Every structure is written in C-alpha cells, then in structure tokens.
C-alpha cells in the first residue's frame, strides 16, 4: 500500500511505500468508558535521501471485534499526536472546524516561540474567523467609527447560548499583557507581544473551538441518534 505524503521537514511531496514506514499497534483490551483501545505508533522516514528525517505520529483508536475472527480492528480515531516534529497544535477535523480557522490556529502554534507577534496576529484572525463564522457577526451598517475584534466579541456577549465560562475565559485572556489592546486594534496590525501572551491566545482559540464547534457537533450527533431511535420506534408501531 502506498500513499501521497508531504514531509514536514523538507516540505517535499513524496510517496510513502512500505519500505519508508513502520507501524505498530499496542492494544488495551480492558474496556474503558470509550471501549477497548489501540494506539498506533507510526514511524515514517522521509524517502528524500537528502532529508531522511524521522516523523513520528501516535494515533489512538477505539477497537471493534473482527466479525467471524479473533482479534480487533481499529474503529474510530479518538486522538492523534505529532511527536516528531514537535508541534503543540491539537488536531481538529475540517469536518467540524472550517479549514481556514484550522490553518491559522496551526500556524499560530508552529511559530509561537519563533515569533510571538506573528503568532498572536494569526490567533486574532482565527478568533475573528470563529466569531464571524459561528455567530454570523458582521459590522452593523449604522456603526460609526472603528469596528474592531473587540466590537465583535462584545456583539456575542449577550448570546444566551454562548457557552458556560466562555465570557470569563475571553475576559481573563484579554487582561493578559497587551492582548486587550490588540483586540481594539485592526486585525492585521502586528503588535509586540511576549511568548506567554501568544500562548494565552492559543489557549483561548482551543477553548472556544471545544466550546463552540466540538460541543455543537457532539450535541447534533446525540440529537440525530435520539431522533433516529424515536423514528425507528414509530415505524415499528
């Protein structure tokens, strides 16, 4: 089996075949709340001979019994960690979170130590993207004066389904260093920040993705399940 792959080190698009990759699965067959689990450790060696770097990824799956056979097959991917190269970015599915927001978020994580101010700028853009996409916020036509990220944040403050603790989290992060001032500036204006401030903004993005996109996705799944069950019962009658 082979697949297309882009090396995170040399950035060259390549094809991975069995001689470039080795994967092992370690199972936990003690049933947990999520069921039985399997961790796949994946070593990929870049086929580009000038690069030859190791990429190491760990993926946690739920397991299901193989039909008519002993043993387990992987079922649902629960979590994935990029161990080498090391990025602190969490992996969010583009089925749940818009790709542009994921891109800004991942880039913000990647450059946080290298350039906190570029990272903070990307985080602000991700935050604005989420507020606009998830809450449909835009500048009111009759608004006079500067319209900033802070105006957009204010516009969601009164939403009854904003999410538990969301306002306190935004407010707490706003009080760190210069972040509050950033929110009142144009989204593209680059402002000097400390790494600690950049990391607080990343934390806020992760928190809001969880609170908004992922919780909504999970609630929708549960609702669909219940509606499906109710429909099945009605049909039986």
Interface residue list for Zn ion (CB under 5 A): 7, 9-10, 46, 48, 51
Least distance (Å) between residue 8 CB and Zn ion: 8
What angle, rounded to 10 degrees, do the helices at 195-208 and 116-135 form? 20
**46 vs 130, beta carbon nearer Zn ion:** 46
Least distance (Å) between residue 67 CB and Zn ion: 39
**55 vs 199, beta carbon nearer Zn ion:** 55
What angle, rounded to 10 degrees, do the helices at 116-135 and 149-157 form? 40
Nearest CA to 91 out of 80, 103, 107 is that of 80
Instruction: Please work out, in degrees rounded to the nearest 5, the angle formed at the alpha carbon of residue 43 by the alpha carbons of 41 and 46.
Output: 155
**10 vs 73, beta carbon nearer Zn ion:** 10
Assigned token pair, 190: 């680059």
Assigned token pair, 186: 């144009």
Least distance (Å) between residue 58 CB and Zn ion: 20
Least distance (Å) between residue 94 CB and Zn ion: 24
Coil, helix or strand at residue 192:
coil
What angle, rounded to 10 degrees, do the helices at 195-208 and 166-174 form? 170
**9 vs 43, beta carbon nearer Zn ion:** 9
């Amino acid at each position: 089996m082979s697949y297309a792959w882009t090396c995170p080190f040399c950035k060259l698009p390549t094809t991975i075949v069995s001689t470039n990759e080795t994967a092992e699965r370690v199972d936990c067959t003690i049933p947990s709340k999520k069921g039985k689990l399997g961790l796949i450790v994946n070593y990929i060696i870049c086929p580009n001979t000038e690069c030859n770097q190791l990429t190491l990824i760990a993926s946690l799956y739920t397991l299901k019994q193989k039909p008519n056979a002993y043993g387990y097959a992987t079922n649902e991917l629960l979590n994935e960690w990029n161990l080498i190269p090391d990025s602190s970015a969490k992996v969010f599915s583009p089925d749940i979170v818009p790709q542009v927001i994921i891109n800004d978020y991942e880039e913000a994580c990647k450059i946080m130590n290298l350039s906190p101010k570029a990272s903070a700028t990307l985080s602000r853009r991700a935050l604005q993207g989420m507020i606009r996409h998830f809450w449909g916020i835009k500048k009111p036509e009759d608004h006079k004066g500067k319209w900033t990220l802070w105006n957009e944040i204010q516009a969601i403050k009164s939403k009854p389904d904003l999410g538990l603790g969301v306002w306190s989290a935004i407010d707490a992060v706003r009080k760190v260093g210069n972040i509050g001032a950033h929110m009142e500036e144009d989204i593209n204006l680059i402002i000097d920040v400390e790494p600690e401030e950049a990391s607080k903004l990343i934390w806020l993005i992760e928190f809001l993705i969880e609170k908004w996109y992922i919780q909504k996705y999970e609630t929708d799944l549960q609702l669909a399940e219940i509606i499906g069950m109710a429909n099945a019962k009605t049909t039986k009658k």
